[in-house]
Amino acid sequence: MDRYGQIPYTNRLITQLAPFVVALIEGIVCALLLCGLFVLGFQVRYAGRIYPGVSVYGVDLSALRPEEAVGVVNQRLDFPVNGKILFQDGAQVWVAEPAQLGLFLDPETSVLAAFEHGRSGGLILRLRDLWHAFLRYRVNIPLHFVYDERMAYNYLQGIASQVDRLSVEATLHVSGTEVVVQPGQVGRTVDIAATLAGLNVILQRLEDEIVPLIVTESPPVILDVEEQAEQARQILSAPLTLKLPHPETGDPGPWTFDLSTLTEMLVIEVVNQPEGGAHYQVGLKTGMLRAFLQERVSEIDRLPQYPRFIFNDDSRQLELIRSTVVGRKLDIEASIWEINQRLLNGEHEIELVIEYAYPPVTDEATAEQLGIKEAVSVQSSYFYGSSTGRIQNIQIASSQFHGLLVAPGETFSMGEALGDVSLDTGYAEALIIYGDRTIKGVGGGVCQVSTTLFRTAFFGGYQIDERHPHAYRVYYYELTASGSANSSLAGLDATVFLPLVDLKFTNDSPYWILMETYVDVSARRLTWKFYSTSDGRVVEWETTGLTNKVDSPDPAYHENPELDKGEIRQADWAVEGADVTVTRIVTRGGEVLHRDVFKTHYLPWQAVCEYGPGTKGMPPKKPDPDDPCKPDAKKEG
């Protein structure tokens, strides 16, 4: 009792529960004994056998001895040898047994796990396992198997040897006139590692399956060239003809390229694309086309030319003598592009690309429109004593300027208007100055024309831009209508020697100039006329005359194998050297427009005599001043 003389509550509770606790413990002990007897009985009954309700991968192995169970498992689970794994690549299929892929069952391990079910662990664990297996039939032991991935890898390598192929670029070339095509091929490679990853998952299901092969494709840069091949065939299907658009009489062309030439010109080249990749481009070789077209430039190109007129002094109107010439220029690069494009479109008769230039004056122009109403400058020069060839050259050269127009502000070049001076353009051989001698050459007499033009521009008061005197005095240019010489005309000559030496003047008036040239052979006269409108300019000029005169050198003598023995002729005449200065002042309304000083230095020129081989008395020891080509008298005797 406590200090108050009472029994504690806890002791009283224990005393009351003690009989129940003892009974509970006795019950538990009895239950454990019964369970132990149950387990012991199960072990005795199924000694050496698999407990009831135990399966391996769905195969019931109840009450079977392990060795029997192994046989049952091998018999029932035959997937490794009788299963089917299909590898597929498009329409191609490869069938493999799982065993070929390295999959093998391990029934012993699986059966041992089934046999140990309910026999391992403590009493409680065993009772739980027996409960699940015997009373509830819910135990399914996983199947153990062995997987050798190396066998699967080797099998896939065998498939890859049939599937794998290299990427092949398509090619295109020409053999003879035949277009040959080699198609391209997409490269394919079996991705064995990726395919194995999918196979490993499928094998674990122990079911027949289709395994898609994982294939990596590598397309070539150029796979298909059939379109370009057809283009090449199209180009070589017929000869190519190039021509001018709207050809005129006398125009060059057309030009035709036969199939063998086209084959040589055909080019098939790979062109890289900016966005990646490439393609074949078919066409004609740019270099060959350009070279051909460049050779045609001189035949095709021409400058625009004004129409040519003459001024009718009676009606005071223009009369057309030659129509406008439209200028044209061959556009080589545009023509190359056009040829290739049209060929690809199936055309074989193609026009070249021409740029046209139209002069500002048409055939319908009137004298009023151009400001032409009178002759503003007329000059004549004389050519007494000229040979037939020299006269012919004067006629041809001067005709190039008859009817020409010079626009206000235009600088006129005699060289450009004169054109080619050659035998092909009708010129004859005549005497020309070459070095320190006068010899026969093509175009002798052209300077008669340039001198006359210079004087017409000079006395017309127009701006002289370029003028070159002769090296020595030429007597033709000092002749008057009577045939006598006038030394005051010295210093008013002009020579032209293309392309280095030219004669140029500028029409610095507000009106057009119409030039007319006339050759009077019987009078040995060349007349040049400028028609325009006078703007009131006045020309004043003066000359110093011949100064600083220098005697000509002694005569020169040359043996000429073209002359007969005893034949003598004078090829050049002595002319003294001198200086002369011509001054010109052009005014208009008191205003000085031009103040020009033309200085000329003439070299002394010697007489030249030619004689045939073996001519006696030549060369003379003492030339006769009056007749330098006379043989020496003593030698004659």
What does the H/E/C string look like for 150-188? Answer: HHHHHHHHHHHHHHCECCECCEEEEECCEEEEECCECEE
Q: Bin 489: left if φ > 0, else alpha if -120 < ψ < 50, else beta.
A: alpha
- pLDDT cut 70: percent of the chain above it: 89
3-class SS at 272? Answer: strand
Q: How confident is the model at residue 637 (pLDDT cuts 50, 70, 90)?
A: very low
Q: How confident is the model at residue 136 (pLDDT cuts 50, 70, 90)?
A: low
Q: For residue range 67-116, list pLDDT tens digits in order.
A: 998 888 888 888 888 899 999 999 999 999 999 998 998 888 988 988 88
Q: How confident is the model at residue 241 (pLDDT cuts 50, 70, 90)?
A: very high
CA-to-CA distance for 74 and 56, rounded, in angstroms?
Answer: 11
- Closest C-alpha to 209, from 110, 103, 55: 103
Residue 627: the pLDDT is 85
First to last CA, the chain: 202
CA-to-CA distance for 174 and 182, rounded, in angstroms?
Answer: 11
Residue 61: the pLDDT is 85
**Residue pair 189/216 in contact by the 8 Å Cβ criterion:** yes
User: Which DSSP symbol is given to 53?
Assistant: T
Residue 328: the pLDDT is 95
More confident residue, 292 or 32: 292
The overall average pLDDT reported for the chain is: 86
Partners of 188 in beta bridges: 165, 217
Query: Poorest-confidence range of 15-24, 502-511, 561-570?
Result: 15-24
Q: Residues with Cβ < 8 Å from 589, sequence gap 6 or more? A: 536
CA-to-CA distance for 279 and 224, rounded, in angstroms?
Answer: 9
Task: Report the pLDDT averaged over residues 235-250.
Answer: 92
Residue 491: the pLDDT is 93
User: Which DSSP symbol is given to 131?
Assistant: I
**Residue pair 65/115 in contact by the 8 Å Cβ criterion:** no
Partners of 59 in beta bridges: 56
pLDDT at 285 over 80: yes
CA-to-CA distance for 334 and 416, rounded, in angstroms?
Answer: 28
Q: For residue range 31-46, list pLDDT tens digits in order.
A: 556 655 666 666 677 8
The owner of tokens 């600083």 is 548
Q: Is the dihedral of CA 196, 202, 203, 207 positive or negative?
A: negative
CA-to-CA distance for 410 and 86, rounded, in angstroms?
Answer: 92
Q: For residue range 493-518, list pLDDT tens digits in order.
A: 999 987 789 999 999 999 999 999 99
Element (H, E) at 463: strand 463-466
Q: Is the dihedral of CA 146, 148, 151, 152 positive or negative?
A: positive
Which of 120-124, 171-175, 330-334, 477-481 tops mean pLDDT?
330-334
pLDDT at 216 over 60: yes
pLDDT at 4 over 90: no
Which of 35-39, 196-200, 267-271 tops mean pLDDT?
196-200
Phi, psi dihedrals of residue 29, rounded to the nearest 5°? -60, -40
The owner of tokens 């005393």 is 15
Q: Residues with Cβ < 8 Å from 272, sequence gap 6 or more? A: 278
Q: Which amino acid belongs to residue 574?
A: A
Task: Report the pLDDT averaged over residues 569-585.
Answer: 90
Q: How confident is the model at residue 28 (pLDDT cuts 50, 70, 90)?
A: low
CA-to-CA distance for 504 and 457, rounded, in angstroms?
Answer: 9
Q: Tell me how far apart the 2 most distant CA atoms of the chain are, in Å.
A: 205
- pLDDT cut 90: percent of the chain above it: 50
Residue 30: the pLDDT is 66
Q: Residues with Cβ < 8 Å from 480, sequence gap 6 or more? A: 382, 486, 489
Q: Are strands 278-284 and 266-272 parallel, antiparallel or unpaired?
A: antiparallel
- Could you give the residue ranges of the DSSP H alpha helices within 310-413? 332-344, 367-370, 388-399
- Write the CA distances from 119 to 141, 310, 522, integer angstroms: 14, 138, 152
Phi, psi dihedrals of residue 264, rounded to the nearest 5°? -65, -35
pLDDT at 603 over 70: yes
CA-to-CA distance for 532 and 511, rounded, in angstroms?
Answer: 6
CA-to-CA distance for 509 and 160, rounded, in angstroms?
Answer: 92
